[in-house]
Chain A
Amino acid sequence: MRALLFPQWDGLWVVLAWNALLVGVFVGIVSVVGMMSIWAERKLAGHMQSRLGPNRVGPVGLLQSLADGLKLMLKEDLIPQGADRLLFRLAPYLSFIPPFVALIVLPFGPQFVYESRLSVGLFWILAILSVEIMGVILAGWASNNKWSIYGAMREACQMVSYEIPLGLSIIVAVAAAGTLNLVELGHLQSGGLHTWLIFRNPFVFMAFFVYFVASLASNKRAPFDLPESESELVAGFHTEYSGMRFAFFFFAEYTAVFVVSAIQVALFLGGWNDPFGLLGQWYRHAAAAPRGMEIFWINVVAAAIFSAKTTLIVFVQMWLRWTLPRPRIDQVLYACVKVLLPMSCVLLLGGVLWEYFVPSRLGAPWFNYQPWNVYQWWKLAPGSLLTQGLLSLIGLGVVLWLTAAMLHAAITGRGLQKRLTDPEPLG
């Protein structure tokens, strides 16, 4: 990206300064994403429970997380007497660093990637996120507290079991795409809605949902937040933490939520591409004949689209958190081992067989099809195209239905009028 923006600058100091700048940007992303997610989560929770949520600090409470951060920094840093001091201090960093490192391969745009050449990009993210669990387990263990240890043990068995359906459902999509590189995945899906991998074949379509459930569980998001279930374990693995160490766990959690949703977007939902394939077409034109800052602006638009899609997934995760009750730990493990695992195995088999038997084209933009040219239709593998079209219609239908439901609620004012927090006139 540096070569793109400043082609004439090179040398040791430029590279050093550039990398320092990028590290700063990533730290900024992590903290802003964390703060905004916490604010959004509290606001959403308030809305769903007929409360107001944070609304005192800044406009609509936007600066609440900043104020909380300040408070947490000033708090006393407690370490329990019986704790293993070294591991207790190490644990927050162990769980904070991996999601941060995973950001380096997230494709915000064709060039907006820190490391675009990593051929195992997707697998790398999975690998680095699997280290994060260690931080949680150590936190629970080092606290020397039965609630914490219960939380840590739940986390361990939950994570180890949910990693399998997570990985298998990713493989279903990767088998359809044929690459693990996240930038290539973005280019593959640049031809419009029907080329997005989720609409590629029915098995990837199902794998999308398996991935979603497994990613909720692996991020210990509700309804799978058993490691910190407040009603039984006080606060689970971070019961003993206070101040900034406590905040590190929260930043880690929300960054991991962002990263996992971003993988979902990059892998299934077309990455940085818009539904009409226009950005991909624009990029191909611009890459063929570069003009000034055009590619830079394409990347900016791409980053906006990518972030918007990721935010949508994060929103759905929060929505579920405040909607669903929490299952027991045996139910959680039952759902993984006896439901999701066989399901993802079947999906993998089906997806691979589909790729083998159904000839298909991936990546052709829709405006390159010529409906009046029957010969071309035949050549474009109509079976696969039909499936992609049908699945796209189903997906569009679901999205439109949800949007319509929300619009209806917003227009008719249903659910907004009878808020308990609305002041009642006295007398």
Chain B
Amino acid sequence: MEILVCVRRVPDTSENEIQLNSAGNDIERDELVYSINEPDNYAVEEALQIVAKVGGSVSVVTVGSEDDEEILRREMAMGANHGILLTDDAFTGSDGRGIATILKGFVQQGNYDLILTGVQAEDGGAQVGGMLAAMLDYPFASLLTSIEVLEGKKLRISREIEGGNKEISEIDLPCVLSIQTGINEPRYVGMKGIRAAQSLPIPTYGASDLRVALSTVGESAAKIKRVDYFVPVLGKGAKMLTGSREENVEKVAELLAAQGGLK
């Protein structure tokens, strides 16, 4: 099975506090640690496990710039056979639909049976997979928690629905699936593997290679634009305890007792 996994490099929220910049028009990006979007990593692991069972190859693709090559190399160190960077000045500022348009251009150059994405990016809208599927007229399913390859160009899939229940369906290939975290246990990638992947070639494709019309991508085509960033207000805010740890422990124990939190 030929599998394409669409991945993205994002600020790693487990490593960073996300804060506003002083102008309030973006997050503070100077000191951010970036990594592969977490659900995308599960998608690559799932692709590798499928290929280990039924044969084929795994390609990982991203839309971005040279900076994004590091995540492609990381996923190649995991075992992906190919890494591809889709890059062009004309792609800058694309919204979800623009990204899906670029990916569609790439998909149409190959012969993929299965296309995977992560369910959502930290700063995204859970949109690119479903859009790409509709553009290609492929079947789509989101929030996947298992994939089993069946005879006759079909998969048996499980989606995560309400209350931890699972929705089981059958889906025809080729199709696009968005992968939920927890579907598998992504393998560990050591520094040695990442170093070995440094020398692997990463082909790049631009708008003309992909036959993408410039009017359909980039900032000018984007129907969705961020205006500014601000600090959200969800509730009235907690009363913060600012004492020493010992004082805070004491206070929490008192509060628990007062609120019926101790038996």
A associates with B: no
